Homo-oligomer: A and B are copies of this chain.
């Protein structure tokens, strides 16, 4: 169908590319972006790569009022021999559709969109930085655009992909962070939107994050919304505990995001014959195990930082110092292995990376 043929409009100017280790996360964008429209009765149509620039939206566009929106985040890496690799992009597009389903947004064709995404990254390949720890962050997202104040699903949407070169998450290498265990505010609850990457989940956490930061914490560890007892996730990361030689992570329960890094870490640990269990983890159980000296390492996992070691957890005035604020051996090994595979430095026995031609 000619309607689904990608149209390319090249930018007349090329922006200067920033030094990749000096870019603050998510504020510099490349020369082009991908846009595709949805209209009820017509489906997704009009895929285009166009110069990066402002969107024109009616002030009554539903995304501003009722928040139907979903997004993804993944990265393109440059290898030493100048190839461009994506890390498990199929998992991100699968999850985008899962998020869309929860928000009553029509699904995209994952294969078709994968091809568009690769064409965009290929066009912008000079933007993929080469300094160790840097990458090109890829942000696919969908917003509802019908101008209508009646509460209900939009009949129009825009799917877009924008690209942003990003520096190293930890300037001086892996650095353990201090995390506040939130016991008042709630991020998500059973039956809610916690497992979806949707805009509303993020701003809902700002108050708790601001209050945690004031007390010297880098981020918040969320507990379940019902009993404020079971550990869910940190800010925008999933969380893992190494307890007495075993690795434990909260099981997916509908209010925890199904992280791509999370699932990769689990597969990696299994391939190393390190026992890993997905189960409910109560904060008081963790505290008890900590008092018994059994909590060896804690780390978050996510696309931004890959592995983020946790040096300290603060829960209702009780402080748990983990591994003497130092990076654990397993955390370091996981970080080195995943980033090694992502950047082509290490072999990829899992078939995780996809080369952009």
The answer to whether the Cβ of A160 comes within 8 Å of any Cβ in the partner chain is yes
Contact present for B25 and A149 (CB under 8 Å): yes
Closest to A225 in B: B189
Task: Please classify the interface of chain A as helix (H, G, I), strand (E, B), loop, or mixed, using the class held by over half of its residues.
Answer: loop
- Give A137 to B149 CA distance when docked, in angstroms: 10
Given contacts A149-B26, A150-B26, A225-B226, contact A68 B189 (CB under 8 A): no
Complex: chain B residue closest to A186, CB-CB: B191
Query: Using Cβ atoms and an 8 Å threshold, which residues of chain B touch A185?
Result: 191-192
A115 part of interface (Cβ distance < 8 Å): no
Q: Assess the B65–A58 pair: CB atoms within 8 A.
A: no
A42 within 8 A of B: no
Chain multiplicity (copies): 2
Complex contact B193–A200 (CB within 8 A): yes
Chain B: CB-nearest residue to A206: B104
A204 to B54 alpha-carbon distance, docked (Å): 27
Interface residues of A (CB under 8 A from B): 24-27, 29, 33, 52, 54-61, 63-69, 71, 73, 102-104, 137, 139, 141, 143-144, 147-153, 160, 162, 164, 184-193, 198-204, 206-207, 209-210, 225-226, 228, 235-236
For this complex, 27 residue pairs linking A to B, each with C-beta atoms less than 8 Å apart, are: A24-B150, A26-B149, A27-B150, A52-B59, A54-B57, A55-B56, A55-B59, A59-B160, A59-B162, A60-B162, A63-B63, A64-B69, A65-B71, A67-B199, A68-B203, A104-B203, A152-B206, A187-B192, A188-B192, A189-B192, A192-B192, A192-B225, A198-B200, A198-B203, A199-B199, A199-B200, A200-B203
